[in-house]
Amino acid sequence: MPRVVLGVEYDGSAYCGWQLQDHSPSVQADLEKALAVIADEPIRVHCAGRTDTGVHALEQVVHFDTTAQRKPFNWIQGTNTKMPATVNVHWATEVDENFHARFKAYARRYQYVILNSQMRSALMAKRANWHRYPLDAERMHNAAQHLLGEHDFSSFRAAHCQAAHARRLVSAISVRRHGDYVVLDLTANAFLHHMVRNIAGSLMKVGRGEAEVDWVADVLAQKDRTIAGVTAEPDGLYFVNAFYPEEFTLPYSGRDVSRLLLPI
């Protein structure tokens, strides 16, 4: 039975998140419905990282099993014709049964986009967190370096997070300014619920000058969510991609949020 992998981009503004929900539309539900038409059979998909309400993805990695024999072009174009304009399959490939979008991923990358301007943007209203107060991106970047490595991230964990433990390995983190935009770029082996948004909220506090650069290290050490910054809005959060062992040769596009910021 073929196992198919897709690279899926979506605007999460109109969705309750990735995962199937009885009460609200989800990306998973729309994708499974479209794939079922192309495969002519029910399809259940598995993703690399479930996203919350309002969170976007540039290259969510998804796999599914099917008895249908289709060329990559057919999975891509056929599925896209059945999807709303806010969801798009960019690539498709077949892999062996050892691949799993979630369990074989050894790291995931997120980016958080802040529009740091006195004026809001109509075009980026649901695609960036508008923050009118000046942010010092260099201070934010320096503060973020305290989070590199393996730590207990309880201070940046949502109260209702269901993860078995809070230890995560952050392999890369940076904060860079691109004109009116400030972008937090974070790669880790896995993420806790609201981890990126809680980190973003804390770094923005540093960027406004309300906390010192070393304050982030103190917050991390305390393992106490109540002393960290507020949870940043979901609008600016993007699942960028997941990383897999070299044996799985996936056709990554290598895109990041810079493509969204250039035209603005």
- The DSSP line for 35-78 is HHHHHTS----EESS--BTT-EEEEEEEEEE-S----HHHHHHH
**Could you identify the residue written with the tokens 């399809």?**
43
The DSSP bridge pattern shows strands 56-65 and 237-243 to be parallel
Which one of 11, 22, 52, 256 is the catalytic residue? 52
Tokens found for residue 138: 């260099």
Contact 202, 156 (CB under 8 A): yes
Give kind and range of the element (H or E) at residue 258. helix 258-261
CA distance 197 to 202: 9
11 assigned to active site? no
Catalytic residues: 52
